[in-house]
A and B are shown apart, each in its own frame.
Chain A
Amino acid sequence: MPDASARSNGHLSVDLHQQGPIPLEASFACAPGELLALVGPSGSGKTTLLRAIAGLYRPSGGRVRCAGETWFDAATGISRSPQQRRVGLVFQDYALFPHMSALANIMVALDHLPACERRKQAQAWLGRVRLEGLADRYPAALSGGQRQRVALARALARSPRVLLLDEPFSAVDQVTRRRLQRELAMLREQICIPIVLVTHDLEEATALADRICVLHAGRSLQQETPEALFRRPASPAVARLLDRHNVFEGKVVEQHGQRRLQWGQLSLEVARGLDDRSPGETVDWYLPHSDVVLHRRERPSRGERENPVSARVVEMVVLGGITSVALAIEPGGDTLRFELATHAARRNGLALGEAVQVSLLASGIHLMPRDTLSDTLNRTPS
């Protein structure tokens, strides 16, 4: 049922659930002008959710609403056709019509206009995606990047109420991908509709999205800005899906009237979250790479007195300017990972087997609720 406030702001809200054949339990929202990335491993239901928004897949339960209109409501039996929903969908392989020129592909989406307008508009769209000279080319004669631009122009030509992008950058080479991502970021400023991007590339999601929704096995686990998500994952499962390594188990203890986090033999100071826990409770906690500070040998470092930890270097991988370091914590046995500039690693004489001192910044330690899902996820070997 149209609701005035929702209509005026063009929000997309999705809340879908079903047991099978593809299990779904996802709910997320996207505001006009916002880019929401659906991120998850293969088989996490990203594309199914996108297809459900477009009206190409009908789940057994839930609702999809956009711009104040109910597009799908299992309870009342409403399910609008893809034509009625007016969505712009860019498929993973672009799905251009092979028997039509670039211009004709775009004109298909402009059927509602008078014939003379159609060509003019389609040409304008080709211009906006910088393909002016290629109007008469057939898809077979276009490069991957050019095809993607035609697909994007076709999706946007119909003035859709939501733009859906299904891994649109996966079929092109690295250089083209960067360029297309930049173009999408610029194009976003001109269109004020919700944009939902499906990707399994975290880097891409971080670079492009305002918010990221993490999915696993059809379930939406967390929606946050990329920065908040990487600093405060909602659960160990989310942390692992985001390829974060420093997830550990600890116990809440009380020492001299102060709550601390017991991690193996170490007792850690935590800035936030411990007061809500009761002593003796086992908690999962996470520390971003950036909050592991290496002590310099000669000079005192920032936060040196905060949670000092002695460790031994067990792995060092140089990836260009960045060195990834794994430390074995003595005597707990957990492995702590962090990254630092390769020149800093050299200056500090980091080497395999070397003993080092690091600080775990109390403000970075993030306590997470224990969840059942984490047991179903494979723990990454640390």
Chain B
Amino acid sequence: MDWTALTVSLQLAASTCLLLIPLGLWLGRTLATARFRGKAFCEALVALPLVMPPTVLGFYLMQSFGAEAPVGTFWQWAFGEGLNFTFSGILLASLVANLPFAVQPIQRAFETIPANLREAAWCSGLSPWQTFLRIELPLVWPGLISALALTFAHTLGEFGVILMVGGSIDGETRTLAIAIYDRVQAFDEQGAAIMSAMLLLVSFLTIGVVYGLAGRRRWRHA
């Protein structure tokens, strides 16, 4: 059992969720409520990682993370290190690959809130920020939980993008999914089986906890 790989996987999944959920809330709400030119284009852009082959997405990311490319150059200038074959690199790649999993459930949830609920809150004296915290957030909670579960689980299982951008560096970019692939390549089927079972267990537990959280809403069934 490669505990280091499991740690990398969990760290990657947690960091992705932590960074992507606030962004997903903002983007999902904007796409659900605002009307602007080019909205359909933005939605298509967000959905793109969903339909792109992971290796293709990974390839483009790898290209743009290179020392010569704009993103890589910026990163080097800002943080003094490269992006390819680093944890920061796979985290950034994971953020891009998971964008639709975080944004879409949240956007759908915001779309179900009638506009006049927001207006009723304003007329009741709540500021836009209070309205967001006390009215909108509780109502999109199930969508938020779905986004969290999907992002976490998808990051744990992500293979193609991570392999292209990060390779398989122990303790840095080798996630559990990649470690399993390495084990199989080395004909260590037992090792692969144990790690696969572990990934299955962790994924199942995550989804269970997360959906348990989402289910606790009295008002729907009241």
Which residues does A use to contact B, with CB under 8 Å? 54-56, 81-83, 86-89, 91, 93, 95-100, 108-109, 111-112, 137-141, 154-155, 158
Q: B123-153 vs A: 1/0 string, CB under 8 Å?
A: 1111100100011001100000000000000
Contacting residues, chain A, for B219 (C-beta < 8 A): 98-100, 138-140
Question: Is B218 a contact of A95 with CB atoms below 8 Å?
Answer: no
Q: A91-B119, A111-B124 are in contact. List 20 more A-B contacts (CB 8 A).
A: A55-B122, A56-B122, A56-B123, A83-B122, A83-B123, A83-B125, A83-B126, A86-B125, A91-B120, A97-B117, A97-B135, A98-B139, A98-B219, A99-B217, A108-B134, A111-B125, A140-B220, A141-B222, A154-B124, A158-B125
Contact of B139 with A82 in the complex, beta carbons under 8 Å? no
Instruction: Given A108-B134, A140-B219, A140-B222, verify A95-B116 contact (CB < 8 Å).
Output: yes
Q: Which chain A residues border B124 with CB–CB below 8 Å?
A: 108-109, 111, 154, 158
Q: Are B114 and A112 in contact (CB under 8 A)?
A: no
Interface presence of B210 (CB below 8 A): no
Q: Is the interface of A mostly helix, strand, loop or mixed?
A: loop
Contact B126 A56 (CB under 8 A): no
A93–B114 alpha-carbon span in the complex (Å): 10
A87-B123, A158-B125 given; A137·B117 CB < 8 A: no
- Closest chain-A Cβ to B102's Cβ sits at a distance in Å of 22
Would you list the 8 A-B pairs with minimal beta carbon distance, nearest first? A138-B222, A95-B120, A109-B124, A82-B122, A138-B219, A95-B116, A89-B123, A99-B138
Which A residues lie within 8 Å of B1 (CB)? none
* Closest CB in chain B relative to A134 CB, distance in Å: 11
Q: Which B-chain residue is minimally distant from A98 (CB atoms)?
A: B219
B123 touches A155 (CB 8 A): yes
Contacts A87-B123, A108-B134 given; indicate if A138 touches B218 (C-beta within 8 A): yes
Task: Using CB atoms, name the residue of chain A closest to B122.
Answer: A82
- Tell me the nearest residue of chain A to B141, going by C-beta: A99
| C-alpha gap A141/B218 in the complex (Å) | 11
Cα distance A155–B121 when bound, in Å?
A: 10
Cβ-defined contact, B122 with A95, below 8 A? no
Q: How far apart sit A109 and B123, CA to CA, in the bound complex (Å)?
A: 8
Q: Which residues of chain B are within 8 angstroms of A138 by Cβ–Cβ distance?
A: 218-219, 222
**SS class, residues of chain B in contact with chain A:** helix
A371 to B133, CA, bound (A): 52
What is the 8 Å Cβ interface bit string for chain B, positions 197-222, against chain A (1 contact, 0 not)?
A: 00000000000000000000111101
For A55, what are the chain B residues with a Cβ–Cβ distance below 8 Å?
122
- Name the distance in Å between A191's Cβ and chain B's nearest Cβ: 16
For residue B222, which residue of chain A has the nearest CB? A138
Question: In this complex, which of B122, B124, B130 has the most chain A Cβ atoms within 10 angstroms of its Cβ?
Answer: B124
Q: CA separation between A112 and B120, bound complex, in Å?
A: 16
A111 to B117 alpha-carbon distance, docked (Å): 17
Please tell me if the beta carbons of B218 and A112 are within 8 angstroms of each other in the complex. Answer: no
Point out the residues of chain B lying under 8 angstroms from A87, CB to CB: 123
Which residues of chain B have C-beta atoms less than 8 A from A89's C-beta?
A: 119-120, 123
A97: chain B residues within 8 A (beta carbon): 117, 120-121, 135
How far, in Å, is A163 (CB) from chain B's closest CB? Answer: 11
* A111 partner, pick from B114, B116, B126, B139, beta carbons under 8 A: B126
| Cβ-defined contact, B119 with A56, below 8 A | yes
Closest to A139 in B: B219
Q: Which of B123, B130, B134 has the most CB of A within 10 A?
A: B123
Chain A, residue nearest B130 (CB): A111
The CA-CA distance from A97 to B130 in the complex, in Å, is: 14
Q: How far is the CA of A278 from the CA of B127 in the complex (A)?
A: 61
Residue from A56, A96, A98, A141 with most neighbouring chain B CB atoms (10 Å): A98
In the complex, A49→B77 CA distance in Å? 55
Task: Write the nearest CB–CB distance from B16 to chain A, whole angstroms.
Answer: 28
Q: Kindly list chain B residues whose C-beta atoms are within 8 Å of the C-beta of A141.
A: 222
A31–B217 Cα distance when bound, in Å, is 44
Q: List 19 A-B contacts (CB under 8 A).
A: A54-B123, A56-B123, A82-B122, A83-B122, A83-B123, A87-B123, A91-B116, A95-B116, A95-B117, A97-B120, A99-B138, A99-B217, A99-B219, A109-B124, A111-B126, A112-B125, A139-B219, A158-B124, A158-B125
A205 to B116, CA, bound (A): 24
> How near does chain B come to A286, taking the closest CB pair, in angstroms?
39
- CB of A101 to closest CB in B, whole Å: 8
In the bound assembly, the distance between CA atoms of A96 and B219 in angstroms comes to 12
Whole-angstrom distance between the Cβ of A47 and the nearest chain B Cβ: 11
Q: State whether A82 and B119 are in contact (beta carbons under 8 Å apart), knowing that A99-B138, A99-B139, A138-B219 are contacts in the complex.
A: yes
- A137 B222 Cβ-Cβ under 8 A: yes
Residues on B with beta carbons closer than 8 Å to the beta carbon of A139: 219
Chain A nearest CB: distance from B218 CB in Å?
7
Question: How many Å lie between the Cα of A111 and that of B138 in the bound state?
Answer: 18
Q: Given A138-B218, A140-B220, is A109 in contact with B116 using a C-beta cutoff of 8 Å?
A: no
Interchain nearest-CB distance for A88 vs B (Å): 7
